[in-house]
Structure 1
Amino acid sequence: MKRVILTLLALTLLAAPGYAGTKDIIYASESTAKSLDPHDTSDTYSGAIERAICQGLMGFDKDMNIIPLLAESYTFNDAATEFIFKLRQGIKFHDGTLFNANAVKVNIDRMMTGKYKRSSLMKPVESCQVIDDYTVRFSLKEPFGAFVNAIAHPGSLILSPKSLETYGDEVSKHPVGTGPYIFDEWVSGDHVRIKKNPDYWKGKVNVDSITFRPVPESGSRLAMLRAGQAHYIFPMPAEMIKVAENDPKLDIIKQPSIIERYLIMNTRYKPFADVRVRQAVNYALDKDSIIKIAWGGAAAEADSIIPSNLQFYKKQAAWPLDIEKAKALMKEAGYEKGFEVVFLTPNASNRLRATEMAQQQLAKIGITGKIESMDVASFYNKLEGQKKDDANPIPFIGFGGWSASTGDADWGTRPLISTDAFPPAMSNFGFFSDKKVDDFITAGLASASPDARKKAYADLQDYVWKQAPWGYLFVDTLMAAKVKNLKGIYPMPDGAFLVEDAELTD
């Protein structure tokens, strides 16, 4: 069977167009684009493609440091309730529309309607006012210490007002921004292609196009790279690292991340509403084995609800593997005989393997069920379709992952475990709700003082770790691979990537 699969792959590669000697890049990923509307995107992969097309007032460099983009500077008051941004002049959108303060207001007002997946980024905003053609003022309803981080988030990218007027919400298939690349084509399930912006305000773009192609099977991604049919792959399958390292044509990239992986438990389903059951799940998980086998060792066991590289992280005591303790908790909660669930997961090779291992491990304490795997877009569509008032909630455990793309503890917690974050508003797909957690999250945003925020998030982590809203797993080590003559594509700690400086050398 393996020989047949490899033969078919080889024929596919031979039939694909050649790219050697051109300035066209193929980026192969395990993920599939869900949307190209930054205000209505919830996945990191789509957001990274959007960042090549559109820009925000602020953004992040490759190390997640906040940098000015369409804004040249900003000021704020001591109470963190008013922020004024001075905008760059002389910039045009790809459709020729002038970038100015009105363009900013059109985009912010759209987000403030509450209709979109990233509307929550502007939830603290009372109003966005145009002071003059190149100055905007944000007045907030209450202090929000992480507001500049929210402005830098890819969900706050600025679209052409003309494109919004022309396409409405169909702008998700026709994005128009100010970035280094112009949207060219999206063939659903196959690829997204962007082409260089010849009039980019920062200067010359070095490649003609970049095609983002979903390849969920890990071995196929690496085979494409080695055959010259891809220039960059992410993630690089850790279990095949030796093969890649021995290929003189390739470079391997490894770096820490802020991507945390976990098992989502639907707490609308009665057993998971009991903290003892959720704790039992954590005692039953052999995280070390999952990391070694499913993730090829390219991860570190989670030791807080947020990763260690995130602002205001505080280390917690590990959940040890203790099957007897897990069984005792299940018995105490009244589930000694266990119960059935559905295991949901994206079909990417490593996520499916991790879910299979978790399925086997949880069976030891009586939690059993079948696996449903699907592409990443379908997986999140399924989770987003859950309702808090479902009469018959699905008893699911889902393989989750999150990168706090603002670089701040707020975005590593509020969208995932606050009561306000139930879908479709944000990404609390397990419907976990706890007033103390909500109060800690509110306290973390009530001041711009780093000391006050640090205490609030330390208290939050101490408390919620024991409440076990998730089955805690691990934090990724980012691994990518590229051909040696490709420069300037940078992986980011949140699992996104920057392609502005991409270049193919001779």
Structure 2
Amino acid sequence: MKQARLPGLLAAIMLLGFALAGCSSSSSTSEGQKELVVAFDSDVPTMDPHMHNEPNAITINWHIFDSLLYLSRDLKIEPGLAESYERKDDLTWVFKLRKGVTFHNGEPLDAEAVKFSLERVLNEQQKSPQRGNISAISTVTAIDPYTVEIKTKEPYNLLPHRLFYLSIVPPKYLQEVGDQGFAEKPVGTGPYKFVEWVKGDKIVLEANPNYFKGAPKIGKVTFRVIPEVATQIAELQSGGVDIIRMVPPDMLAQLEGNPQLAVTSTPLLRVYYLAFDTRKKPFDDVRVRQAMNHAVDIDTIVKKVLGGKAVRTPAGVNPNHFGFDAGIQPYPYDPAKAKALLQEAGYPDGFETEIHYFTPGIGQQIVDAVISDLSKVGIKAKAKFYPESSSFVEKQRAGDLPFRLGHWGSYSVYDADAILQPMFHSEGVYGTYFHTPELDQLITDARSSVDQEKRKALYSQAQQLLHKEAPWIFLFSPMDNQAYNTRLDFQARADERIFAYEIDIKQ
């Protein structure tokens, strides 16, 4: 009897072992399909690639959609849906499309789809926050089914850079389901198809076996919404997720010594800032804005919160942007000067305010430090956290956040235009918070000039004006500390994207 039961017992033990092995790793499914699980610190506001500028949502877009051009890992512009392009003259660009590409629903990718997509973003009634990126475009013409001509109002050297983040969408499907339907169930041409979105919990994608560049190596990708960094770390350690981003330096020690985990630090183009609504009191007074720049000990925040892994951005522009003026020095930490400026502005006892923010983890640490520093000069600030980024983004676009912590990645365009135009031009997506006629002209002239030295000079003037007017408390650009399971064949990208199509899981 005992001998007869041994094979069954052994089989049960083996099955249990296999089951436990499957539970210990997020890198495979029960069907043997490779699966990647990535942690997001917040949910996305929408699945519509034209109706946001939020970094997590851009990551999702990269998986579901394609653009005319593609930004490679080494930040070079490569063919995307356009197999080639040429500049006919200062104002005319011609793009030749790949043949045989279809959207996930079978709809063909053609010149009309490209025309529809660009014109949708350009349409003022659509209210796309990406409109400013391509507002230099005057006309889009479908020359034939696979040729698109784009004309600009003025010379615009950055057009190719603006097109590698502009997703091409299926006209017939979008018109059939409407904007709201498309925002919930997107269809693109990308390497992954949309499966489900459980708001506040997860986004699930599956491989597109017919992708024009070849089928993805990873069959399923899940993005889990995990706001707390400590929980992300615990999930990474237990195998619940494979990759986490923006790990605070003071938490990196928890990952050291684990042979199954690795950490990489990458310089970012992203800039963190505290922005004022300069139309509203007390932030309409430049002396108040300058005082608050002097009141915050940013160097100490960089040291204590970021472990020294950040560079100051004294006028908002990142040192890696073309046109950065290295001669502009950051506001020095000077509480006495801050108090003097506040008294001069009529606020000798300070005032009360709220700091609005939606980024947990590092965001909360930054806000806590700023609140402490401001209290030393009499400014009583409270934190207002938005668990859902969509609520923050909606208020931000509406101009309803008088004082907010934000960050901007410039769509990975390494040119000062990519931050100056959206943030400080009257037609920019957030230009309503601060702009001037002089600044508008500087940004417009730099955008349209083909003389790089002239553009540098114009950007320098713009940064000097911004430094003086202080529409932000100018913070820093941090390093991105990414931690991942060593089962992955993974290299971090400098543009922040976690792109499953470039990742594999070691056998």
On whether the aligned pair clears a TM of 0.5, the verdict is: yes
Residue 238 of structure 1 corresponds to which residue in structure 2?
249
Alignment-derived partner of residue 204 in structure 2: 193
Give the structure 2 partner of residue 418 of structure 1: 425
Verify: 1:332 aligned to 2:339, yes or no: no
Q: Which of 281, 298, 323 is matched with 2:292 structurally?
A: 281
| 2:203 alignment partner, SS class | strand
The answer for the alignment partner of 1:19 in structure 2 is 26
Q: Cα offset for 1:256? A: 0.6
Deviations, residues 139-161 of structure 1 (Å, cap 9, x unaligned): 22223232221112x2x110122
The one-letter amino acid paired with 2:325 is K
Q: Does 1:352 align with 2:361?
A: no
Q: Which amino acid aligns with 1:490?
A: A
Q: 1:16 to 1:220 in 2, by over 3 A?
A: farther
Structure 1 counterpart of 2:123: 113
- Counterparts in 2 of 1:195 and 1:29: CA distance versus 1, 3 Å: same
Q: Residue 408 in 1 paired to residue 415 in 2?
A: yes
Residue 427 of structure 1 is matched in structure 2 by 430
Give the aligned residue type for 2:438.
K
Q: Distance in 1 between matches of 2:365 and 2:41?
A: 14
- Secondary structure of 2:480's counterpart equals strand
| Residue 150 in structure 1 maps to residue 162 in structure 2 | yes
Aligned residues: 478
Give how far 1:121 is off: 2.5
Aligned to 1:257: 268
Aligned equivalents of 1:144, 1:385: Cα separation in 2 = 29
Cα distance in 2, alignment partners of residues 322 and 19 from structure 1? 49
- Aligned equivalent of 1:90, options 84, 97, 100: 100
CA contact (8 A) 1:64 1:407 kept: no
The answer to whether the 8 Å contact 2:268/2:479 transfers is yes
Deviation at 1:18, TM superposition (A): 5.9
The secondary structure found in structure 2 opposite 1:230 is: coil
2: distance between equivalents of 1:159 and 1:490?
27
Tell me, which stretches of 5 or more residues in structure 1 are unaligned? 1-12, 388-393
Q: What amino acid does structure 2 have at the position aligned with 1:173?
A: E
- Answer whether contact 1:417 1:469 (CA < 8 A) is retained: no
SS at match of 2:475: strand
Q: Which letter maps to 1:225? A: L
Q: 1:467-503 CA deviation, whole Å, 9 max, x = no partner?
A: 211001111101101000112463333x333221221
Determine the C-alpha separation between the residues in 2 that align with 1:14 and 1:282. Answer: 53
Change (3 A) 1:14 1:439: farther
Local SS of the residue matching 1:419: coil
Who is 1:378 aligned against? Answer: 391
- Structure 2 distance, partners of 1:473, 1:492, is 20
The aligned amino acid for 1:408 is: D
1:165 Cα offset (Å): 2.0
Secondary structure at the aligned position of 1:229 is classed as: coil
Q: Percent identity, aligned pairs only?
A: 31
Indicate how the Cα distance of structure 1 residues 498 and 490 shifts in structure 2: closer, same or farther if over 3 A, else same.
Answer: farther
Superposition pairs of residues 388-403 of structure 1, within 5 angstroms = 396-403=402-409
Q: Secondary structure at the match of 2:282?
A: helix
Larger Rg: 2
State the SS of the aligned residue for 1:272. coil
Please tell me whether the aligned partners of residues 489 and 497 of structure 1 are also in contact (alpha carbons under 8 angstroms). no
CA drift of 1:14 comes to: 13
Measure, in 1, the Cα distance between the counterparts of 2:472 and 2:246.
Answer: 24
The match for 1:42 is: 53
Pairwise mapping of residues 357-372 of structure 1 onto structure 2 (< 5 A)?
A: 357-372=369-384
Partner of 1:101: 111
Taking structure 1 as the reference length, what is the TM-score of the superposition?
A: 0.90
Shift of 1:29: 2.0
Distance 1:78 1:312 in 2: 25
SS at match of 2:216: coil
- State the one-letter code of the partner of 2:469: Q
| Residues 347 and 47 (structure 1), Cα distance of their counterparts in 2 relative to 1, 3 Å cut | closer
Residue 499 (structure 2) pairs with residue 503 (structure 1) = no
Residues 1:439 and 2:441 are matched in the alignment: yes
Query: For each residue in 1:320-340, what CA deviation from the matched residue of structure 2 results, as whole angstroms up to 9, or x when unmatched?
Result: 111111111112222222111
> Which aligned pairs between 1:204-243 and structure 2 lie closer than 5 A?
204-243=215-254
The residue aligned with 2:476 is 474
Shift of the 177–488 alpha-carbon distance from structure 1 to 2, 3 Å rule, reads farther
The Cα of 1:15 is off from its aligned counterpart by 13
Secondary structure of 2:476's counterpart equals strand
In 1, the alpha carbon distance for the partners of 2:342 and 2:207 equals 57
1:72-96 deviation line (CA, Å, top 9, x unaligned): 22122443x2111111112111111
TM-score by length of 2: 0.90
